[in-house]
Structures are given as C-alpha cells and as structure tokens.
Structure 1
Amino acid sequence: MKPLQLLLSSTWNNLKQRPCLYPYQFQRGPQWCAGGFYQQSRKVMDLSGLTVIPLPNSSRRIDKKIVETDCHAKRLLSGYQSITEVSHKCNPESDFLSFINSTLDEIEGPCHCWLNTFRENKDSFKTGATLLVLAGQFLDGSINGSNSSWMLEQAKSLQQRFPQLHIMGFQCGSSVFSSVDRSHVVQLIMNEYITFPILLSNKMFPEVANVPCYILFKDSRSHVFYHEKGHDIGILNKAVEEVGTEKDKSRLVHNVKSTWSRHAEVTKEPYLCSFSRNLLLNFPGCISADESGNRLFLSDTNHHRIIVFNGNGKILDCIGSSPGFEDGKFETAKLVRPAASFYHAVEDCLYFVDSENHAIRRADLGSRVLETLYPTSNNDKKGNSSWTWIMDMLGLGRRVDTKSEEFDSNSLMFPWHLMKSIDDSFLIINRSFDTLWIMDMASGKIKEVVKGFTNILETGGQWIMKKISILEQMPCDALQAQVDTSSTPEGLPYAGLISSSTTLQNHIVICDTVGQRILKIDRESGVFSNIQFSNFGILGLPYWLCSPLERVYTTGGLWGAQIDHLQCFSLLPGRIDIQLNVDIPVDTKLVEPLQEGCIWRWARGAAAEVSVVEIEAGSSEKVGVAQQWYDELDSLAFLTPEPELTVEDNDTAMDSKFQDERVHINCAVNTSPGTSEVIICAALYLKLKKPDLGDDDQEKYAARILDILNPDRTGKAERDSFIRILLKSNRDLRDLIFIKPLHVRVKLDTLNHPKAENSKEIVLTDSSIEVKVSLNS
C-alpha cells in the first residue's frame, strides 16, 4: 500500500473509533480531518453535531502528491457518509468554491446572478477570509419543511458576533432565473433584513443540492462543515471560533474608528433596501393601540422608527432617528428594526421589541425619552461623565455590546412578538416561533426560557389565541395575502401576524407588509380603507439623507447622496438670499406642502447660515437703531390698514405655492471673501397623478415609480423583481406615497470687499440668487 493510502486508512480507522472529529495529529503540524485542517494550538472540542464534507481539491495545501490523488482520497473516505448522504464527483466543474470565485467579477452571467451585492463584497471574498455559506434557504420549494427564519437568524447572529466573518447565501436550481423566484428572494431579503449577498445559480452542486445547510470555509480554501436544522446554534458558534475568526481583533479595530466611520458601520443595510426605503413605509411590521387616547403605534420596521398617529392618520410623534442602539430623546434615540409593542396606560409608556438589537425598550410618551429595559447593563448610567461622552464621540469609549462574550442560547435573540400576561410578565417570542422568553416587566430579567413551538403553545397559547381571534374577524382572502410562509409555524397559519393587527374603537387595524400600507376594517360593515397619513414634517428628514456634521464639514460628503443639481456663483461678500424653485416630476403631485422639518441646510467654507427665523423676519444689520425707529414711525403713519388679514390668507398663500407644482425653499447665508458651499437636502412626499382617462396599467405605474426613485445601482433582474413586488400588493399604485430625495449644492466664489470712497469702511453687499432645479427623469 502506498504511503498516502496508509496514512488515510489509519486516519479513517481512528476517526471511526473516536466521538470527536479530530482523528489524527501530525507532529507539530496542523490537524487534518476529512478534508480540512485545524491548528494544533486550538483547544480540542466536540463538534459531533457538524458533518465534515470533503470537497474537491480541499487538500491542495499539503503537497503535489495529495493533489494528484485527491479523487482516490475521497473514495477512501466515502464510508464517512453514514451521517449524511452526500455524493461527490471528481469533475473539477463541481468545485463549489471555484464556481463562487469565478462569479465575483460579474453580477450576472449565463449560470449565475448576484443579488444584494456591492463592490465591497467582491473585494472581501478575494482576501481569503473565513467564509460561511448559507445554502438552500431562499425559495419555497427548497426549504423542505424547515423554517427559513430560524436559519437566517443564526446567520445574522454570527454576522453580529464575528464582524470579520464573511457570509453569503447560495441558491441553486433550474428555476432561480425565473422572475417569480427572483422576486421571492428579493422580498425575503427585505422582509428578513438580510445584509449579506446571495448568489443564484442554475448549476447543481451535490454538496448543497438536497437540504438546507451551512458550509464553512477557512481562508476560502479548506475545511467545510455541514449543519442541518435541529442542532443548537452554539455548535455553529464554536465551529466559527475554532476555524479562527478573530473576534477580539475586530473589536479593537472598531474602537479606534472615528464617529462617522462608526455611523457607516451601524447603518449597514440590505443593499436592495435602497429602493424600498424611499417608500413612506418600509415593511410596517407591527402595530398596537391606545384606545382611550385614540393613538396607534406603528413599527415602521425597516425605517427603524415607531410612528405615533391618530385614527385619522395624522402623525403625532416619531420614536427613533436612525439605526443604532442609543437611549435619549425621541429625536436622537436609535433602534434597529422595532417590532411588536405594548402600550401601558397607567405609566403612559410604550414597551416595544428592538429586534436586531436583541433588546426590549421603553418609551415614556410624556417626557419623550427612550430607555432600555433589557439588557439591564445598558441602563447603568452611573459612570456617565463629560469625559465618557467625549470618549464615546471619539469612538474610544466602551462599546455598547448586547452580545455576551460567551454565547448563551437562552439570551434574547431576534425577538419579534410581545404580549403581557396577567402576572405583569412579558411573553416574548422570536419570529420563527422557536423560543419563548418570559420576562419580569419591572426588572427586565428573564425568568424562564421555553423552546419548541409545542411547548410555546402550552405556555402562552391563551394570549396567542386571543391575538388570533382578532385576525379571524377579517376576510380570509385578505389574511392569506399577508401570510409569510418563512415565519409561520406549521398548524397555526396566522400566528406570524399576531403582532400585525390591533383594535381601535370599532375598527380593526392591520399592517399590510406586502402593499406597504395600513388597512382599517370596519367591524360592522367589513369595509376596507387605507389610512391616509398626513403631517409628514414630524418625521423630519430621513436618516439616509443626513450625515454627521463632521463629515460634511471636512469632506462635504453625504452618505450615498446623489446630487440633483450643482450650480456656481461669483458674488460680492455680504448676505446672500437663495431661493430654490424645484420642479417635481411631471406625472407626480405633492401629497402635502413641504414642511420645514423635512429640510436640511448646511453652509461650509467662508459662509455661515442665517436661521429660518431671521430669513422670515428680515435682517437689519446695515441699519442703525435710530434709523429703525424712524422707519417704524413712517410705517405707522403711512400704513394703509388691510382688514381680514387672517390665517386664511396664509393658508391661501400656502395653497397657491402648493398648487403651482413647484417646491420653493429659501435659504440665506452671510459670506466673507473666499470659497464656500451651501448644501440643501429635502424629502418630497409624492404620488403619481391620476389621469382623467381611465388608464389602469399598474405595471406601467410600477416602472414609473422605479424610474422616479432612480435606483441606478440595480440590474435588470433586480428591477424586474421590484416591479413584481409592487404588483403583488394588489393596490392602485397611484395611491402609493413615496419620497423623492432632493440634494442641491450651491458653490459660492466670494470676491474681496469693495472699498468705500474714504477707504476706511468695508462695504457689505446684499445679493439674491435663484436656483432652478428640475427633478424630471
């Protein structure tokens, strides 16, 4: 027998006799096990819950002899398939990892298509870092009865715990290029908030063809694991640690970043959400009510905020400003994907689930302050000081970390549903209905953890069925359109919607996550109607149109902002009044006049912004006090009274501005000699016009909305998928409210001060400019 055969035979015999997957040790070298390597310095642990798959060319790092006999080596190891039946071929084309590498330079090819990807993904995959592939979880036909939300939660958890671990999804099959399947994957990305890229391929690979699994590559070359549903997530956490992901090092790098770099990392979102986030609502997932106060609390989940509005749709308040984890005033507080909520009338507080932060938050609606109930360590404010605040702003302070160093499978992980029991405890359930946490409402401590859907029904079935009874009052066809098969337990088809509906007086209110709207159903007549929102100025400028001021000041950069208009002027120093006249797209109309809260202005360089109050009141910098007194006397003496100058005139003036299909924004700056720049951003709430003739081509409307929002980074496959998603809503798309971002930059080249005749005084010149902007596309 050849030396290599002797080595493999000895290895295999030793493997069959040991429960651990470490069959053989080389002297002062790596540990080899069925197609991969382990470093000897690593602590040996039991990974018996994982199945090792020898992939083609997995042993190339030993020497050329092993490369030449790679197929023979796999034949000797074929007996190890007693755990999982996997067929392997020696055909190089079946090399899964080689195929992934061959697709990195093209988003779409004859055998593949990337979704939710961007340039950084390609570079990171080529660096040779540890790669985890989640395969076979993205189509209904490939799930095979397993719960896709459960495995996606695991992958997202690993992504949070190990920032240097690169994760991707993979789906193979002959139907993945169909528009139906592609739109299903895009919808899943938005619903589950998947931030890693997904590769679709019509090629079949034996390693991933049968059942959903994880495949873990070390240095993008060697060791591969197979992990099916049913194993505890802790096993997979240990496997990632064992392969060598440097979690501590990644945290050290994180702590020395600047504040705007931290902001960029926190706001990492699914790449495909760049389209859907410009809708008024982006996956409105959960809702609750204050019956006596006629208030509704909507979790606008993928916008990371909770909208407070009354029964008529008038927006009253907004909790949350941007994605992150931060307590404080509603305008500055941060959360990530809020879900179910519960209003406590006695305290006038709203308790809600902060899903991606694995937290329970409490919003005091009286003082408008948000605080964290769980994890309790985040409520410890005793160490706060000015120095702590400075260190946090510099990115050098203690990082808020909701994940413990040692993985705890009983800790709160991706909670979604929230119910209050009779003993002042919270029942918290994750979206996959895999785990129930019982939490003390006063202290925020977890008292009990229940695993398994059957056990969850035994413990909290009374409150779950109470929620389902509300849904049963709705027409069956309306419910069927909302059922999410990826997060609905078997045997209870509407359980996934228990947090998506509530009652308000004689109406049932339900979140339509497909149509991105809120429906109101009259209990007596059964008539459906859409809640028409108003008062958008309360929402302010969306976070994705804003940037930290230090970044704007130093570089003038805005996160992902596309400049709609850039114009330069050469003027004398002094006050400059700027008026923006914006033409909205011809086939759209403003939902309501632009409010001041939806506008953001900033001046940098040799210019300083004049406040809006000063603009409206007028400036009198060049006029002395005595002259102002005489002017006031003159105005009193010669002023002709104009009766009935009431608020109605102001409303009429506003309406006239509103009806001329133009948006007017005023801005003023004081300038000195030099160069400067004025940045103006705004959020325009629009919807398509309804033509006089009866044109009901919804597909044309969907394509038009997509063109207006201008997702120039999407390919044809993603564009077709978005159109299908909009059509799936089964609504008149001319009623869909969306945000058209406005980004204008005015560059000013200010000359030197002109001199007066006595050469002593500096003359300031007031100027006014008009900037015309067209958003027609």
Structure 2
Amino acid sequence: MAFRYRNLRRISTVFPRLLSGAGCEHCGEATNIASCSMPLAHTLEKIDTIGAWRGVHVSRLSTFAEISKEVPQEVDLIAYIRSTFDLVEGPSHRWVNVSDKSIEFFNKDGAFLLVAGEFLDDPSGCQSDRIHMFEKVKLLQQRYPWLHVFAFQSCASVCSMSDHDRLINVIMEEYIPFPILLCSKIFPEVASRPCCMLLKGLKDPPLYHERDIDLSILHEVIKDLSEQLAKNASNANKLNSTWSKIREGFKEPYACSSLQNLVLCFPACISADESGNRLFLSDSNHHRVIVSDCDGGILDMIGSSPGFEDGDFETAKLMRPAASYYHASEDYLYIVDSENHAIRRADMGRRVLETLYPTCNDKGRSGLWSRVLDKLGFKRDAGMKSVEFDSEALLFPWHLLKSVDDDLLIMNKSFNSVWIMDMGSGMIRNVVKGHGDIMELCGKQIMEKVSHLKDISHDFLQQLVHSSYSLGGISYSGLVSSLVALGDRLLICDTVSQRVMMMNRQADSSSSIEFSNLRVLALPYWLSFPLERAFTTGSVWEAHVDHLQSFTLLPGKIDVRCTIGIPGKTELVEPLEESCVWRQVRGAAVEVSGLNNTAATKEKVSAAKRWSAQKWYDDLDNLVFEEEPELSSEENTTPHTDLEDGKIHINCAVNTSPGTSEVFILAPLYLKLQSSYKTCKDTEEKAAIIAEILKPDRTEKSVRDEIVHSLLSLNRDLGELVFVKPLRIKLRLEIINPPKPENSRDIILTDSTVDVNVTLS
C-alpha cells in the first residue's frame, strides 16, 4: 500500500502541469511512454524528462495517441544480464566477485535485487552517497538471504586491469559480498545515476524501480513478494526472515579472497593501552582483533571466525570489527562490530567477549542439552533484536570515540549519524544527524586526532588510503580510527599495503611493523571447520586437500608420521609449533593425539582448538563435562614440530577398529621469500612466485594473473611480505578384519606405522 500511495502522490504532482493548446502535439510521445509496459515509477521519470527537454507544458494526455511498440529499455537490460549467467567472462561483460561455481546460485525463477550505477567513479562529494547505498543493499541482503543481490556497472573496457583493481579496492573497503557485472555496453537508464530494481523473475517487469533505495518502501514490496512466494510450502522456511545469523548465512567477498592469505587483510582501525604498552588492531576482513605490543609481538587474539557469538576469545565471533576503545580502569576493550550492527565489550582480564548492544535474546538459555549443542558446534549465535528500517537503528557503525561525559560516540563511516551510547548499560541516549550537529558534538575530538597527520606529507597519505572522507572541511577525517599516537610515534593502518606503519615524528622516518609470535593467531578461520561439518560436507574437503593418500591396515594403534616439504624459493617465518596443528578424525577411529602425547598448554589451548572424536554420540557426557587439566610449571611450554633439512615433521597416533576412517591434518605455514629473492629488484617475479604458491598449478592462469596484480597493487616490498600457505592433508584408512585365532572371539590388535611424504608446490 505504501508503494501504491507513493506513486499515486507522484501522479497528482504531474497532472496539474498538463495544459491545453500547442502542447497537445507532444502528448502522443508522453502517452506512448505511459502506455507501454514500463513500471509506473519509470513512466513518471520519462514524463518529467520529456517536459523539461521540450520546454512545453502539456495540459492533458491524448486518449487517441498511438501506443508505442518499442521495447522498454530496462527489459533489454534484464535480457542482457540473463544472457551473461552462463559465462563469468564474455566479449562485452565480466563478472567480478564471483567464481565459476558460485555464479550458479542465480536461480532464474527466484527474486533478484539489481543495483546499477557508477561504482568506480568517485566524484567529489559523492562518496558518502555510494557508501550509504552499499550499506542499504547489504542490510537487505542480510535480512533476506533468499534474495539474489547483484550490481551492474558500465565501463569502457571489461578487460581493463586498472578498472578491475579499482573495483577490488572498493569491494575490500566496503566489504561487498554480492557479485558485480562489468559491461562495456551503454544502457542510458542506469548510466547517469544509481538505480535499484526488484524483480520477481528475470522475465517479469520490475516490481520496484527507483533512482534511490528507499528502505521503508522496498521493505514493504519485499514483504509482499515473500508472502506470495511463501505460498509454496517448500520455500516457506527459506523466506522467513528472523534476522538470525548462522555461519552458513555469511557471504564474504570472493574477489579479494587471495589477500586472505596475508597475515593481515584490511587492517582498518587501531587503538592503544598506553600504560600497558598494548596495541589493539582490528584485522577487519579476517574478523578478529589482534592484541600486540608496540614491537609487533602478538599477545592475544579476539575472534575465531565470522559470526555473532559471545564467549572466550578463541570461540567468540565477530563480523568485520572496526574501531575500538580501551577503558583502562575497567580493563575493558569496547569494539565496534560493524557488519553485526553491534557494540561488543572484551574483558581483557577474563578473556571473555560479550555483547553490549543490542541486548541478547538468549542470555537465559541454559541446561544440559544447550551445553551439548554448544560442544557439538551447534551453538546459536548471539541473539539479536530485529533491526528496523528507521533512523534510530545502529546500522553499520565504524568509528568510536569517548565523550567528556563518559559516553561512547559511535559514528558510521560516512559520518551521517552519531549514536550516543551509555558505556555501562549499552543504552542509546540520543542520535545526532547532519554534519553541522556532528561537528558541534565531536568535531574537536576528530580535529585533535587528525592533527597528528600535519607532519606527514600529502603524497604519503594518498598512498595509505584508496580514498579519503572529510567531515566539515577536516581533511582525512576518515582516518580518525586508523591512527594512534604514542609519544613520538604515530601508528597508522595502511589498508592499501595490508600493514601497520610506525612513524617517528622526531626522526622523520617510517617503518612497517613486523609481527612476530604468529602462532598465537593459530589457524585462520577459513581453514578451521567445525568437526561435525566434516561428516556432511566431505566434498568441501576434497576441493581443498593438498595431499590425499589411502592405506589398508589391521585394527589397532596407527602412528602417522608426516614429512612436509615447504614450497621452493620460500622459508618459514617461524617454526611450526604443535599449538598450530589441528587434527580431526572421523569414521571407525576412536582417538587422535600427538605421537608423543604431549600435554597441552594454556598457550596452546588459547591458540588453537584440537578436536578428538569418535562415533559422535558415544561420548556426549564426556564432551559436556570435560574440564581442562591444570598444568604444572614444568609442562608450561609449547614444543614446535621438528624442522630438518628444510622439511616439517608432524606426527599423530590413531586408534582404529575395522571399518573406514579418515584423518585430517591442518596447519598454517607462515612463509616469505628466501633471502636470495629479497634483493631481487624484479617485483613482478616475486609476485609470480607468491601467486604460484598461493594457487596450485591446476588453477587457471587468469586467476594467478589476478593474484599477481593484487600483490603488485600492495605497493610494498614483496620480499618482506609474510603470507600463509594452508596445509591440508587427508588420509583414508581402510581397516580390515584380521584373521581370528581358533577358539577365541577377541580381535588381535596390532601396532602400525605409516609414513606420509607431502611436497607443496
């Protein structure tokens, strides 16, 4: 009804402009437009355009005008888009942020939300509008996961690497999870200004077509559409929007996936504990907050994987954390959880993360069955109150400051809104909108932080950021959460080169922080899957296995000895420690452990979860009530795996019974180029070596070329670049029934040893 009322109101503003007389000769053109199968909103736009162009005023529409037989422009556009679904790249198009397999998600009978505009162009004053548009689209995608969202961008050449690199930067910076279609053809209806279309199918006229995304109206249209589609019982559950976030519901950008293998991926914001000599770095696109000292030694990590979940640091989940603020007297770290529209609070003493805003709906959930589900990996995400489409909702916060009244001042990236939140209760006291009011409220604090940049050259600042935001004439105000001053040192997040720069203002020198103690980071989230997922998604493992080998053995204890040769032309940054090795077993195996049965340490437990399991439901009681053993001071060491002749040795022991078993061994290898390549001046050669390591030979050459371009766009010495080579080993154990001795029902168990040699390319 809101949609119909809006169009009716617009009609009432058009008809009074229609006059009689000479203008009637032009009525036919207006009637043709109004009579064709275009959506009403688009028809009104055409009438307004014609009136302005002709310079005439028309009194009425002729009822005898000949109906236009021209095909509407947007129908041509949709037909063209439909023709591109079978190929990621064609003569006049190229899909970005999508893979050959993921493009198959387009269900031609589903509902589509198309956003078209000039995303690459960044005219002065329009960047805030672009950010706001992306936020609206992502919000709709989060709320309606069944809605297929994609974008359309016209460009001169779809093969232009400069356009491609610029678009990758936009995808990383705005964290765009939906595909974008680059097209060399010109469609006038979507070339001038961004527009939005909602389509029930790719053969039906658009249900919504506007120059702007009006969330309130579009929400009503989508609700009506979901009610129509929900009549089909098979789709009813999928269309039910509960605003719940499960892990499988998160969609991450695909275009910049190769940069996930760097130690940092879009390090966006940083804060400090000056008295404790600690830095809090938001590794945003890795969905974690890294705690380190000022020399780069990593002390701790908050967040394990993308999601929305409270708990210990190693199990809690964040979704693209941004700014943070450390409260020294409480030893709390307040974190902006941007994609979750939340504010989180980390108790640094207890190492526990909790949600300050919004209020969780499931805090009272407890009981034996809940604890069992938590142990099995089915723990529900933190409850979240439904976010309404209104101006008061905390949507995509980014910056965080502390007011003189001990309130938290939370701002979005485009500085359109400031939410004033009580630090203790998490209650939003007030919402301030408009640059003038925002400057009056927190302009002084922003100016004080940005003033630290006055001694840095403009050219150097331009290299640190893809784009700069300004608030009230303050240059580089968008960096307010990306820098922190500690005495004579200034630390700045470099989201272009994926690093943190340290500037010595007295010596007028700069250097990149070299992070150490990388084992605390343990396994990247894209390596570690919940154990129970291995039972149902074996095909996912097949696609990511570096080494697969099968053995036929007798039942009993099996000692597995793995020898791994690291990729040529590289060296380990740090020895691979036992705490970074992750093992899984499924099937007939009943136990998996390190070969020497080394006791776990507190550091090891905080660094990585090592799972051991048998036939799932046999040991639920043990899973629920198990307690971590107290460790003596003699055991408080973390041994590293052996490294002999440039090879890594990983061992484990498995107890098996007759049947089929599978053992998975995962580990992150932190590598960099050998010293002999550090002095090599050929940057493209270094990039090609790293690209070959990150993507095996079976990968298409075009993908490796894109990785090379991404590495070259970092604008840094690739000889010092630390990257992660994921190690994935899968062993299949076929345990046969041994011959039974006469007059005995027992099975004789044997001890076996298998040697696994792995060569990484």
* AA matched with 2:12: R
Q: Give the aligned partner of residue 551 of structure 1.
A: 533
Q: Give the aligned partner of residue 649 of structure 2.
A: 664
Closer, same or farther in 2 for the Cα pair 1:742/1:443, shift >3 Å? Answer: same
Deviations 1:151-182 (A, max 9, x none): 11111011112222221111003144311011
Contact in 1 for aligned 2:92/2:158 (Cα 8 Å): no
SS of match in other structure, 1:766: strand
- Which protein, 1 or 2, shows the higher relative CO under an 8 Å CA cutoff with sep ≥ 6? 1
Q: Give the aligned partner of residue 355 of structure 1.
A: 338
Q: Give the aligned partner of residue 249 of structure 2.
A: 265
Closer, same or farther in 2 for the Cα pair 1:760/1:169, shift >3 Å? Answer: closer
Contact in 2 for aligned 1:161/1:247 (Cα 8 Å): no
Q: 1:492 pairs with 474, 477, 480, which one?
A: 474
Q: Give the aligned partner of residue 178 of structure 1.
A: 160
* AA matched with 2:266: F
Contact in 2 for aligned 1:687/1:734 (Cα 8 Å): yes
Q: 2:116 pairs with 115, 124, 135, which one?
A: 135
Contact in 2 for aligned 1:576/1:767 (Cα 8 Å): yes
Closer, same or farther in 2 for the Cα pair 1:297/1:180, shift >3 Å? Answer: same
Residues in 1 aligned to 2:426 and 2:229: alpha-carbon distance in whole angstroms: 28
* AA matched with 1:704: I
Q: Give the aligned partner of residue 765 of structure 1.
A: 750
Deviations 1:2-58 (A, max 9, x none): xxxxxxxxxxx988653699xxxxxxxxxxxxxxxxxxxxxxxxxxxxxxx989865
Q: 1:104 pairs with 82, 85, 91, which one?
A: 85
* AA matched with 1:745: K
Contact in 1 for aligned 2:269/2:493 (Cα 8 Å): yes
Closer, same or farther in 2 for the Cα pair 1:396/1:608, shift >3 Å? Answer: closer
Closer, same or farther in 2 for the Cα pair 1:297/1:774, shift >3 Å? Answer: same
Contact in 2 for aligned 1:149/1:486 (Cα 8 Å): no
SS of match in other structure, 2:404: coil
Residues in 1 aligned to 2:172 and 2:280: alpha-carbon distance in whole angstroms: 21
Matches within 5 A, 1:635-714: 657-658=642-643, 660-691=645-676, 694-710=679-695
Deviation at 1:96, TM superposition (A): 0.6
Q: Give the aligned partner of residue 578 of structure 1.
A: 560
Q: In the comparison of the two structures, how many residue pairs are matched?
A: 684
* AA matched with 1:18: S
Residues in 2 aligned to 1:537 and 1:606: alpha-carbon distance in whole angstroms: 31
Q: 2:367 pairs with 341, 364, 385, which one?
A: 385
1:286 corresponds to 2:269: yes
Matches within 5 A, 1:167-246: 167-220=149-202, 221-223=204-206, 225-228=208-211, 233-242=215-224, 244=226
Q: 1:79 pairs with 36, 47, 63, which one?
A: 47
Matches within 5 A, 1:460-479: 460-479=442-461
Residues in 2 aligned to 1:233 and 1:717: alpha-carbon distance in whole angstroms: 38
Closer, same or farther in 2 for the Cα pair 1:401/1:169, shift >3 Å? Answer: farther
Among all aligned residue pairs of Structure 1 and Structure 2, give the percentage whose two residues are the same amino acid: 49
Closer, same or farther in 2 for the Cα pair 1:707/1:413, shift >3 Å? Answer: same
Matches within 5 A, 1:419-438: 419-438=401-420
Q: Give the aligned partner of residue 35 of structure 1.
A: none
TM-score normalized with structure 2 length: 0.81
SS of match in other structure, 1:615: coil
When structure 1 is superposed on structure 2, of 569-578 and 144-153 the one drifting more is 144-153
Residues in 2 aligned to 1:295 and 1:14: alpha-carbon distance in whole angstroms: 60
Residues in 2 aligned to 1:251 and 1:599: alpha-carbon distance in whole angstroms: 42
Closer, same or farther in 2 for the Cα pair 1:585/1:768, shift >3 Å? Answer: same
* AA matched with 1:130: A
Closer, same or farther in 2 for the Cα pair 1:570/1:488, shift >3 Å? Answer: farther
Residues in 1 aligned to 2:378 and 2:295: alpha-carbon distance in whole angstroms: 46
Deviation at 1:121, TM superposition (A): 5.5
When structure 1 is superposed on structure 2, of 381-390 and 525-534 the one drifting more is 381-390
Closer, same or farther in 2 for the Cα pair 1:432/1:722, shift >3 Å? Answer: farther
* AA matched with 2:92: C
Residues in 1 aligned to 2:305 and 2:37: alpha-carbon distance in whole angstroms: 46
Deviations 1:382-402 (A, max 9, x none): 343335556789999987564
Q: Give the aligned partner of residue 462 of structure 2.
A: 480
Residues in 2 aligned to 1:502 and 1:402: alpha-carbon distance in whole angstroms: 32
**Unmatched tracts of structure 2, length 5 or more:** 1-6, 16-32, 55-67, 600-633
Closer, same or farther in 2 for the Cα pair 1:164/1:574, shift >3 Å? Answer: closer
Contact in 1 for aligned 2:359/2:385 (Cα 8 Å): no
Residues in 1 aligned to 2:518 and 2:344: alpha-carbon distance in whole angstroms: 25
Deviation at 1:760, TM superposition (A): 7.7
When structure 1 is superposed on structure 2, of 501-510 and 594-603 the one drifting more is 501-510
Deviation at 1:80, TM superposition (A): 4.6
Deviation at 1:746, TM superposition (A): 1.4
Deviation at 1:97, TM superposition (A): 0.4
Deviation at 1:664, TM superposition (A): 1.1
Matches within 5 A, 1:146-165: 146-147=127-128, 148-165=130-147
Closer, same or farther in 2 for the Cα pair 1:372/1:93, shift >3 Å? Answer: closer
Deviation at 1:363, TM superposition (A): 0.2
Closer, same or farther in 2 for the Cα pair 1:329/1:577, shift >3 Å? Answer: same
Deviation at 1:440, TM superposition (A): 1.1
* AA matched with 2:688: A
Deviation at 1:74, TM superposition (A): 9.7
Contact in 1 for aligned 2:522/2:579 (Cα 8 Å): yes
Residues in 2 aligned to 1:177 and 1:489: alpha-carbon distance in whole angstroms: 36
Residues in 1 aligned to 2:426 and 2:661: alpha-carbon distance in whole angstroms: 51
SS of match in other structure, 1:149: helix
Q: 2:723 pairs with 738, 743, 748, which one?
A: 738
Q: Give the aligned partner of residue 310 of structure 2.
A: 327
When structure 1 is superposed on structure 2, of 767-776 and 659-668 the one drifting more is 659-668
